[in-house]
């Protein structure tokens, strides 16, 4: 064997082929050796092969290829090579070095045969440096991934064409991206998911288009997702060597921060108990309403709403129940106003409504809706009770041209409703309410009443009458109410005396008789047989055809006579005694019941009263107000009850407002009562709602016990 250059070749002259191959291998950069296909021994190798394996090229000659195999793949390959069933291989593998270590290589094996016998040419390239670079890249990539995952923000990195290069799990979690969508690596599907996740997809896509057009744009946006999250998105360009290569989107969940800010904003402008606008918000809205009205030449209304006898609720049921009543009342009031209007709570039981672009008719309609919203009974802690409201109305510019003036006039009108008996509304009056000494105002009031009757400005409310022993509703008193477009809600104490003086009380009385009888008949037809009581004025009672008129009403309505009760004052009974007695007996033959109203305030003879076909005595509220503490009132009430019992008459007390009054009357032997303790006078629908759920015929209100 001779040395040729650095390669070891056989000495046989006949093996020129191997020498040529060895010389060719030496000229190659890669490590190369030749393996005899039959014996699988190395027959030639170049210097690079020796250096690769940590030895000299001559040490490789004669060695078996299997000795250098370091993987199962190589063992299989050379086993198949013996049988001639393999042609070649090209793969990344390892070789065993002479010091026992292994070396990663790129290996190519080819079988050649030039007619003198097959050979395998094995070419190897050291992959150590490449593997170190790849490992460094993998480490760098892992470090980048770990960095992305360790941040509190969601990160999405794209190239300039919009393809996704990186994203972290925080991003996927924040956007609720399904895991399978990430595994697919489908960028279009991912972006579509994000588009569908925002509450305003159109604005979201338009903003992305703006970002795409500006490669170096720095932007911060706030996104709201259907999940309820509020996300802050910061967009920054990604640059390498001073040139943009993509974009980095960072997403931060700011839901709690936004919620806290909104809560602060809410508390600064809204009442914490009811959620309505507060005084500060109301002031801003009033200023805006005033500016708009001045600009457009329109009008608006300010309605001051105050719950009636709310202090009584707080004192008797406690502040917790009182707060719940305020919350429920605010909900009801808020549910009946228009979206353009503003309802605010000033504090306590006071509310204000701004009715935008509302004239007198619109403001009155708003007041009607507000009152009706409170007609349904409140039920809290197993107790049911009714809450009413007094409402004052001021209109711009009729009742004021400044915010302070409008609020002041609406408040004043509300207090006038309180004085007039509560549970109503009225407009601010530039002129005072008519009094007995104001002839001109009384003339105007009489004219307004005569206009109001055909225009259906009058209505009847009904106050339930309760049996003290059983707690059952046994009747209702019909009470007249009048609302004038200019005067607002006018108290019966104001207009009834004027009507009596002018004689208009006759027309009013006939109207009341017909309406009350029609309502009682309607209830009777539905199985609710309640006796309806109504007041009869002296002038009406003295009319020649009064009894015949009552008979006609009973006939036309089909109302049984015992379901109608006429309340007469003692002053009526003591005038023209014989004629009065005759009329009363005629009414009794019709089956109509009769009661003496305000008993104890007149001076009638008890002997005379004994002759009258009277069914009930009615204790005037002036004697009830002082119960049970006022000894004089207590003595008078006991005397009236004893007198009624002696004459076998029912005794009913009016104006009962407290449980203490009710308990005293029950202990005294009084039969029935009515008053705000149970309910104020209500419209028919509200009265029926008060009785809702009770058995037909008689409705039980044992809650007043």
Q: In this predicted model, what pLDDT tens digit does every residue of 360-394 receive, in sequence order?
A: 888 999 999 999 898 888 888 777 788 889 999 99
Q: Which DSSP string do the residues of 125-181 spell out, in sequence order?
A: EE-HHHHHHHHHHHHHHHHHHHHHHHSSSEEEEEETTS-EEEE-HHHHHHHT--HHH
Mean pLDDT of the chain: 84
Give me the CATH topology for the region 457-705: TIM Barrel (3.20.20)
pTM: 0.46
Instruction: Say how far apart CA 70 and CA 385 lie, in whole Å.
Output: 96
Checking DSSP bridges between strand 699-700 and strand 472-484, what pairing results, if any? antiparallel
Residues 68-83 have a mean pLDDT of: 75
Does 698 have pLDDT greater than 70? no
Which of 267-271, 509-513, 589-593, 645-649 is the least confident region? Answer: 267-271
Give, to the nearest 10 degrees, the angle between helix 659-668 and helix 631-646. Answer: 40
Residue 261's SS3 state is helix
Q: In this predicted model, what pLDDT tens digit does every residue of 542-598 receive, in sequence order?
A: 888 899 999 999 999 999 999 999 999 876 776 667 788 899 999 999 999 999 987
Residue of higher predicted confidence among 612 and 534: 534
- CATH superfamily of this structure's domain 2-126: PAS domain (3.30.450.20)
Instruction: Say how far apart CA 498 and CA 484 lie, in whole Å.
Output: 15
Domain boundaries, the chain: 2-126, 146-257, 270-430, 457-705
Residue of higher predicted confidence among 701 and 470: 470
Q: What's residue 699's pLDDT? A: 44
The CATH number that domain 146-257 falls under is 3.30.450.20
Residue of higher predicted confidence among 436 and 129: 129
Alpha carbon of residue 21 to chain centroid: 90
Q: Classify 262 in phi/psi space as left (phi over 0), alpha (psi -120 to 50) or beta.
A: alpha
Which of 513-522, 583-592, 623-632 is the least confident region? Answer: 623-632
From the list 607, 603, 570, 567, the residue with the least C-alpha distance to 587 is 567
Q: Count CB atoms within 10 A of the CB of residue 35.
A: 25
CATH class of 270-430: alpha beta
Q: What's residue 434's pLDDT? A: 45
2-126 shares its CATH topology with 146-257: yes
Q: Which DSSP string do the residues of 85-115 spell out, in sequence order?
A: ---EEEEEEEEE-TTS-EEEEEEEEEEEESS
Which of 32-41, 356-365, 405-414 is the least confident region? Answer: 32-41
Instruction: Say how far apart CA 567 and CA 537 lie, in whole Å.
Output: 9
Does 256 have pLDDT greater than 90? no
**What is the pLDDT confidence band of residue 8, given thresholds at 50, 70 and 90?**
very low
Does 33 have pLDDT greater than 50? yes
Does 490 have pLDDT greater than 70? yes
Give, to the nearest 10 degrees, the angle between helix 492-502 and helix 505-525. Answer: 120
Residue 590's SS3 state is coil
Q: In this predicted model, what pLDDT tens digit does every residue of 286-328 receive, in sequence order?
A: 999 999 999 888 899 999 999 988 887 887 788 888 899 999 9
Checking DSSP bridges between strand 88-96 and strand 102-113, what pairing results, if any? antiparallel
Q: In this predicted model, what pLDDT tens digit does every residue of 202-219 receive, in sequence order?
A: 999 999 888 888 878 888
Residue of higher predicted confidence among 484 and 265: 484
Q: What's residue 193's pLDDT? A: 92
Measured CA to CA in angstroms, residue 624 lies from 352, 467, 598, 673 at distances of: 34, 17, 11, 10
Percentage of residues in the chain having pLDDT higher than 70: 88
Q: What's residue 435's pLDDT? A: 44
Q: What's residue 473's pLDDT? A: 93
């Amino acid at each position: 064997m001779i040395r040729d250059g650095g390669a070891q070749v056989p000495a046989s002259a006949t093996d020129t082929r191997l020498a040529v191959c060895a010389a060719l291998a030496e000229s190659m950069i890669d490590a190369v050796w030749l393996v005899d296909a039959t014996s699988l021994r190395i027959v030639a190798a170049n210097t690079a092969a020796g250096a690769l394996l940590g030895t000299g090229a001559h040490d490789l000659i004669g060695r078996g290829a299997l000795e250098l195999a370091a993987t199962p793949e190589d063992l299989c390959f050379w086993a198949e090579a013996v049988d001639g069933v393999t042609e070649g291989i090209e793969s990344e593998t390892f070789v065993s070095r002479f010091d026992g270590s292994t070396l990663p290589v790129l290996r190519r094996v080819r079988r050649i045969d030039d007619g003198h016998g097959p050979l395998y040419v094995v070419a190897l390239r050291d992959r150590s440096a490449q593997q170190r670079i790849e490992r460094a890249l993998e480490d760098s990539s892992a470090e980048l991934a770990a960095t992305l995952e360790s941040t509190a923000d969601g990160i999405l990195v794209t190239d300039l064409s919009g393809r996704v290069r990186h994203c972290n799990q925080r991003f996927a979690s924040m956007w609720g991206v399904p895991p399978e969508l990430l595994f697919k690596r489908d960028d279009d599907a991912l972006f579509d998911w994000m588009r569908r996740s925002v509450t305003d997809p159109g604005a979201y896509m338009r903003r992305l288009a703006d970002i795409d057009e500006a490669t170096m744009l720095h932007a911060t946006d706030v996104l709201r997702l259907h999940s309820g999250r509020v996300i802050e998105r910061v967009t920054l360009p990604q640059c390498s060597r001073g040139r943009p290569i993509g974009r980095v989107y960072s997403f931060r969940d700011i839901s709690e921060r936004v919620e806290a800010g909104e809560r602060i904003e809410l508390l600064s402008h809204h009442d914490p108990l009811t959620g309505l606008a507060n005084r500060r918000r109301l002031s801003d809205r009033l200023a805006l309403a005033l500016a708009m009205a001045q600009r457009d030449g329109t009008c608006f209304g300010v309605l001051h709403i105050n719950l009636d006898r709310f202090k009584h609720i707080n004192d008797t049921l406690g502040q917790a129940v009182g707060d719940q009543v305020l919350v429920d009342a605010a909900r009801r009031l808020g549910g009946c106003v228009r979206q353009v209007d503003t309802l605010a709570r000033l504090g306590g039981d006071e509310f204000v409504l701004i009715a935008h672009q509302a004239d007198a008719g619109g403001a009155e309609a708003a007041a009607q809706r507000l009152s009706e919203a409170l007609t349904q009974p409140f039920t809290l802690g197993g107790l049911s009770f009714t809450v009413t409201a007094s409402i004052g109305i001021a209109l711009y510019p009729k009742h004021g041209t400044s915010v302070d003036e409008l609020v002041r006039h609406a408040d004043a009108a509300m207090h006038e409703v309180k004085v007039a008996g509560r549970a109503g509304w009225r407009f601010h009056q530039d002129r005072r309410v008519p009094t007995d000494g104001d002839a001109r105002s009384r003339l105007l009031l009489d004219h307004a009443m005569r206009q109001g009757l055909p225009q259906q400005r009058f209505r009847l409310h009904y106050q339930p009458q309760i049996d003290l022993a059983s707690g059952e509703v046994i009747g209702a008193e019909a009470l007249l109410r009048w609302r004038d477009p200019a005067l607002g809600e006018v108290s019966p104490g104001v207009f009834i005396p004027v009507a009596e003086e002018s004689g208009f009380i006759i027309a009013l009385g006939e109207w009341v008789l017909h309406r009350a009888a029609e309502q009682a008949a309607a209830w009777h037809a539905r199985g609710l047989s309640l006796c309806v009581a109504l007041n009869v004025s002296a002038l009406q009672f003295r009319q020649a055809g009064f009894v015949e008129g009552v008979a006609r009403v009973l006939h036309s309505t089909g109302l049984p006579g015992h379901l109608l009760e006429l309340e007469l004052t003692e002053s009526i009974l003591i005038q023209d005694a014989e004629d009065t007695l005759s009329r009363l007996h005629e009414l009794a033959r019709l089956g109509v019941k009769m009661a003496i109203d305000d008993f104890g305030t007149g001076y009638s003879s008890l002997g005379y009263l004994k002759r009258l076909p009277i069914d009930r005595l009615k204790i005037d509220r002036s004697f009830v107000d002082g119960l049970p503490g006022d000894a004089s009132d207590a003595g008078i009430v006991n005397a009236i009850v004893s007198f009624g019992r002696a004459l076998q008459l029912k005794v009913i007390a009016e104006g009962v407002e407290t449980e203490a009054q009710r308990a005293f009357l029950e202990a005294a032997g009084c039969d029935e009562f009515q008053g705000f303790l149970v309910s104020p006078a209500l419209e028919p629908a509200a009265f029926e709602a008060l009785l809702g759920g009770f058995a037909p015929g008689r409705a039980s209100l044992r809650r007043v016990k």
